[in-house]
Chain A
């Protein structure tokens, strides 16, 4: 019964437990973000992250339950201290992961990605901050094991690369 409840909660979290929003298909090829020339290339890790950029505008209906409407074909710029790219929503931008090392300033943490989308009448901005790549751990050994796991996870998290989230949604408003 407990497992079923957890499953229902997870399904709700993913779908919103209301009318699920149908997202526009990503038709264009992914865009590879350019790395700013002043960035020390030693900071770049092996992998990359695909970030889907989507734009939304508030629901036309006054109904509070109405979902925001996705806006297709909006030109957006993706910028940070380290990378630059341009996309047309919805589109994937591929950004590098960054090494986490004590030798780099701030352990190599890249600045936030700022995604700015603009049409003739609408404008929106969103930011995405990178995080140390998640280390998935499963515990079932009580508090003592959980403490050991927490300490191990903290140690591993100090060396995993900095990665950006896989999706950025930009909410646009009238200019």
Chain B
């Protein structure tokens, strides 16, 4: 029992450190959320909306990504279009998924192209079903003293994702060169 308690304490400390000490601090988003509406036939498949943050980076002298603010970014796809200044949170539509829709209702990929300070960069966002693994924890582990039991929820998560709406992700990172 003591061993389990120690493990719990260690796990709690570990998760606290992970939340507070890992990675550089992101630039603060000072602008209000930009709500983007879907256009065309896809708007009939919209079932909700989820936020996505766009951030821009340059390579520093060590080759590491350093966030920069103030780049102008364009979001362009068949369904959505927007122009923002980084960093910015957009609220983008989510779409129904089903076999009755072409491509199961998946919206087209979004091209995000950014320019700033004489540099430019672009990236492509391919929509994924909510919970498809790109944005969820796939595995949970329970410990008891010296033994452990891995409860792998990957297959269940993936299966459920086949019924969940399509989303664009939670963050997009564009490196300017």
Contacts and interface: CB of A to CB of B under 8 A. Distances in A.
Do the two chains belong together in a single complex?
Answer: yes
Interface of A: 80-81, 106-107, 109-112, 114, 125-127, 129-131, 142-144, 146-147, 150-151, 154
A151 B149 contact: yes
Interface size class of B (residues with CB under 8 A): 20 to 34
Given A111-B163, A112-B164, A127 B47 contact: yes
Interface in B8-30: none
Contacts, number: 56
B31 interface: no
A175 B126 CA distance: 28
Contacts of B142: 143, 146-147, 150
A106 to B, nearest CB: 5
Interface in B64-99: 96-99
Interface of B: 1, 4, 46-48, 96-100, 142, 144, 149, 151, 159-160, 162-165
Given A114-B47, A127-B48, A154-B151, A143 B144 contact: yes
A154 B100 CA distance: 31
Contacts of B149: 147, 150-151
Contacts of B4: 143
B98 A81 contact: yes
